């Protein structure tokens, strides 16, 4: 059962043994952005979740950070 971790503190996620990691936006709102409208935040959120799903579909050999395209 693969797990993908969406985390702002990527280095900590890696240190504690997470194998599939997707960088998040910020500590208090990993999948939001207080400078954006609700609609923009939702589309940003969906985009990150899609990267996370792609990470779950990817066969990896070592702990991997999946970059998010801006």
Partner 1 sequence: MKKAVHYLNQFFGQIGGENQADIAPQLHEGHVGPGMLLHQKLAPVAEVTHTVICGDNFIGSKTDEAIEQVLTELETIEFDIFIAGPAFLAGRYGLACGALGKAVQERFRVPVIASMNEENPAVEMYAHELYIFSGGANAAAMRKDVKKVADFSKRMLQADKLRPAAEEGYFSRGKRLEAFDGSNRTGAERAVEMLLKKLNDEPFHTEMPMPVPAKVAIAPAVEKMEEATIALVSSGGIVPKGNPDHIQSASATKWGKYEVDALYELEAGSWETIHGGFDPSAANQDPNVIVPLDAMRELEQEAKLGSIHPYIYSTVGTGTTQAEAARMGTEIAKDLQRANVSAVILTST
* Chain contacts with partner 1 (rule: CB under 8 A): 1-9, 13, 15-19, 24, 27-32, 34, 38, 41-42, 45-46, 48-50, 52-53, 56-63
Identity of the residue, 27 or 70, whose beta carbon is nearer to partner 1 in the bound complex: 27
Identity of the residue, 62 or 67, whose beta carbon is nearer to partner 1 in the bound complex: 62
Sign of the C-alpha dihedral computed for residues 27, 28, 33 and 39 taken in this order:
positive
We find the least distance from the C-beta atom of residue 62 to partner 1, in angstroms, to be: 8
Rounded CA gap, 36 and 21, in Å? Answer: 24
* CB of 8 closer than 8 Å to CB of 23: yes
């Amino acid at each position: 059962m693969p797990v993908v971790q969406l985390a702002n503190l990527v280095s900590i996620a890696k240190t504690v043994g997470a194998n599939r990691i997707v960088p998040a936006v910020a500590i208090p709102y990993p999948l939001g952005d207080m400078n954006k409208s609700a609609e923009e935040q939702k589309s940003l959120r969906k985009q990150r979740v899609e990267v996370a799903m792609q990470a779950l579909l990817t066969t990896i050999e070592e702990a991997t950070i999946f970059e998010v395209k801006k």
